[in-house]
Amino acid sequence: MSGDSEQNQTGTNKKAGDRMLKRERLMTIRDLVDRKGIITVSEICDNLGVSTMTVRRDLNELAEQNILVRIHGGAQSRQYSQMTELSRVEKRSLHVSAKTQIAKIVASLIDDGDTVYIGPGTTNELIAQFVSAADVRVITNSLPVFQTFQERSDRFQLELIGGTYRTRSGAFIGSLANEVLNRLRMDKAFVSVNGVEDNVISNANAEEGQTQSIALSNSGKRYVVGDHSKLNKRDFYGFYDLDQMDGLITDSGASSADVEKYRRFTQVLTGTQKNTK
């Protein structure tokens, strides 16, 4: 009976929250988004005691008024500038040892004769030096990744996907890149991300995320690449679900708690140890 009572009480709270004055509710949501930068639907529900449907409706209305930006599973403040994204030059000097561990794992997963997609990212720029497989076709929309494999072009067949060049990450994106990738099929795809939180992987740029999403969907096996600093973080654009990936590749700096947490969604590979789902 007590369980029924608690459930009834929760339902009552939701209904009471839904009856909040709409203007007050919208102002509160706006304040939450502005303070946090990025917020999820569930966080707003918990704060206001309102239903998911009500929150989604309110967020859509605020987005239509250009007050906030709707993102996967929540919203982002317009003041949360994408310029907070570090450039690839700035990223190159961060967590180098961790990125090297990850690059070695990725290289070990590439087999003779594979066709692989390797996405933009400073971790992925380290992969080429560790690949020992033969007759590998490498497809990428990252100029820096392409250049690292080009230095060893006698061992690889290289395909650089063109499009609109994004200087900040060194990636080609946009409709042209997407059109080409839509026509290709790969054995494996390795994408680097800015954030992994619960079941969502994300990065700072929507178009870049969309391009990587196409590559993932057209690959037989899908892997997300990110050092331990990317775990439990989210960025602007969520572009794929972790439970649709064949593995999360991170470094030995990931805590055992995080490894267990993300094993709920996919296989986790850390450093030299492989942790299976």
Amino acid occupying residue 20: M
pLDDT at residue 62 greater than cutoff 90: yes
Q: What is the pLDDT of residue 276?
A: 41
DSSP β-ladder status, 247-250 and 219-225: parallel
pTM: 0.69
Q: What long-range pairs does 129-134 form, CB within 8 A, spacing at least 24?
A: 129/103, 130/103, 130/104, 130/106, 131/107, 131/155, 131/156, 132/107, 133/107
Query: What mean pLDDT value characterizes the chain?
Result: 87
pLDDT at residue 224 greater than cutoff 80: yes
Q: Name 59's bridge partners.
A: none
Q: What is the pLDDT of residue 53?
A: 94
Residue 79 or residue 255, greater confidence: 255
Element (H, E) at 57: helix 52-64
pLDDT at residue 85 greater than cutoff 70: no
Confidence of residue 20 (pLDDT cuts 50, 70, 90): low
- Residues 6+ positions from 238 with CB-CB distance below 8 Å: 71, 72, 73, 200, 201, 202, 209
Cβ(173)–Cβ(163) below 8 Å = yes
Task: Calculate mean pLDDT across residues 17-41.
Answer: 82
Domains of the chain: 2-80 (1.10.10.10), 88-275 (3.40.50.1360)
Burial code (b: 16+ CB inside 10 Å, e: under 16) for 181-191 equals beeeebbbbbb
Q: pLDDT tens, 148-172? A: 999 887 889 999 999 999 998 999 9
